[in-house]
Structures are given as C-alpha cells and as structure tokens.
Amino acid sequence: KQEVTQIPAALSVPEGENLVLNCSFTDSAIYNLQWFRQDPGKGLTSLLLIQSSQREQTSGRLNASLDKSSGRSTLYIAASQPGDSATYLCAVYVSGTYKYIFGTGTRLKVLA
Amino acid sequence: EAQVTQNPRYLITVTGKKLTVTCSQNMNHEYMSWYRQDPGLGLRQIYYSMNVEVTDKGDVPEGYKVSRKEKRNFPLILESPSPNQTSLYFCASTSMAGVMWGEQFFGPGTRLTVL
C-alpha cells in the first residue's frame, strides 16, 4: 500500500535562507506528484505538478524534483520570505488505483 | 474565474441528523474527490468520481455517500453523522486532459462539527 512521508514535520528558518522540503513515497508506480501549500484554516493552493515522466518543475522561487526510482521528491524554496510560512503538502496520484495519497505535511515558519 | 466552491463553509449539527455538503466546479473537469483532514492524519480521500454516474470509494468511505448526476456537482452526504465525522472537509476537482493532467484544484473547505 502506498505511503507518503514528509520529514521534518516542522521547520523554522531565518528569512533569506534557501531550504529543501522532502517527500518520500513507498511505491514508485505513480502518475504524478503535486506540491501544495496550506495556510492556517484555509484550502490548498497548488504549487507545482510533476508528471511521472518529468524530473523537475520550476515556478518562480520554487523548484520541485522527482526521482521515481528512489521514491523521493524535493521542494526547493530559494531566498525564503516570511510570506512563505505555511504547511507544505505533497500528494501522489497512484497508478492503477485512480486514488490520491497525501503526506502529512511540513509546517514551515520563516522568521523575519 | 476557475474555482471549486463548497457550501456550507461551517456546520454544527447533532448526531444522526442527515446533512449534505455541496461541491461545484466550473472547469469542466471529469474527476472530482472528497477528502477529510484531521490533525496528525493529514488528508484522506473519502470518495472520488471519474465522471458522471461513476463513483468509487477512497480510503475512508465508511459513513459517507456521494452522487454525480451532473459533471459540475459532487455532493457529499452524511446519512447519520456521528462525532467521529467531525473534521475539515475538502472537495477537489482534477483536470484529466493536457499537459497538466492530474492537477488537483481544491475548494475552500467545510468545517463540520457533530455533537
């Protein structure tokens, strides 16, 4: 059964630091992986979608990579800002099941 | 504006009183889902629908029903709510075409409390 893990569960960094968030999945049979941010009490905002055939996607200060064979994805945030403070979630679309599995998230705090 | 809407946003009810949470999307997406989000457990898929009249169970379907009579709407029905269904619920709509195939778009959430 597919399991998705995000470590660490929480992270505090000073403003301006480059940082990496991790997402691991146990079964490499996925259609795609999507990164989201969630602000407290709010819905999920899509950040980046990586199809299984792709290695990385970039949007502004964000870069997401995917290594299916090792079951890992990373979200790189460059020059972090206090406005980046949120919970970051990854989700995989599992091949053959039509289901999505989410990680439990990394709560990021960027200190001014 | 492309969006997923949910109603109500907040709901307090009592055990056993049937309720429906509505979900609507204006993006002509085939795939729609319902999730619940609980502290420490993350988001878990309740039900999903690949298209009109096609629905299937996610990982936590017990106590819930869904229907998909129109492409844009995917209501979540709790026939006899219980306190363990107190949670934050999200509806999502997913594109199944083009280069962004499989990208999920989420509604704002419905916070449900069952007393």
**How much is the pLDDT for B40?**
86
The residue among A39, A88, A100 with the most chain B CBs within 10 A of its CB, best to mutate, is: A100
**How much is the pLDDT for A96?**
84
Give yes or no for residue B38 having a pLDDT over 90.
Answer: yes
Q: What confidence category does residue A49 fall into, taking pLDDT thresholds of 50, 70 and 90?
A: very high
Residues of A near B (CB-CB distance < 8 A)? 31-32, 34, 36, 41-46, 49, 51, 89, 91, 93, 98-105
Contact B42 A102 (CB under 8 A): yes
Residue of A nearest to B48 (CA): A99
Residue of B nearest to A37 (CA): B106
DSSP, residue by residue, A1-50? ---EE-S-SEEEEETT--EEEEEEES---EEEEEEEEE-TTS-EEEEEEE
pLDDT tens, A1-15? 899 999 999 999 999
pLDDT tens, B44-77? 999 999 999 999 999 999 999 999 999 999 999 9
Residue linked to tokens 């055939």: A53
Give yes or no for residue B100 having a pLDDT over 80.
Answer: no
Give yes or no for residue B43 having a pLDDT over 80.
Answer: yes
Mean pLDDT of chain A: 95
Q: Give A-chain residues touching B109 at CB under 8 angstroms.
A: 41-43
Q: What confidence category does residue B91 fall into, taking pLDDT thresholds of 50, 70 and 90?
A: very high
Residue of B nearest to A42 (CA): B108
Distance CA A59, CA B54 (A): 34
| Closest CB to A49 among B58, B103, B108 | B103
Q: Within 10 Å of residue A54's Cβ, how many Cβ atoms?
A: 15
Mean pLDDT of chain B: 95
B43 touches chain A (CB under 8 A): yes
Q: What confidence category does residue A78 fall into, taking pLDDT thresholds of 50, 70 and 90?
A: very high
A8-17, A53-62, B29-38, B93-102: which has the minimum mean pLDDT?
A: B93-102
Q: Give B-chain residues touching A46 at CB under 8 angstroms.
A: 103-106
Average pLDDT (B83-111) is 91
Q: Give A-chain residues touching B108 at CB under 8 angstroms.
A: 42-43
| Pairing mode of beta strands B10-13, B110-114 | parallel
A22-31, A40-49, A71-80, B90-99: which has the minimum mean pLDDT?
A: B90-99
Contact B45 A91 (CB under 8 A): no
Inter-CA distances, B16 with A25, A109, B63, B80, Å = 38, 40, 11, 4
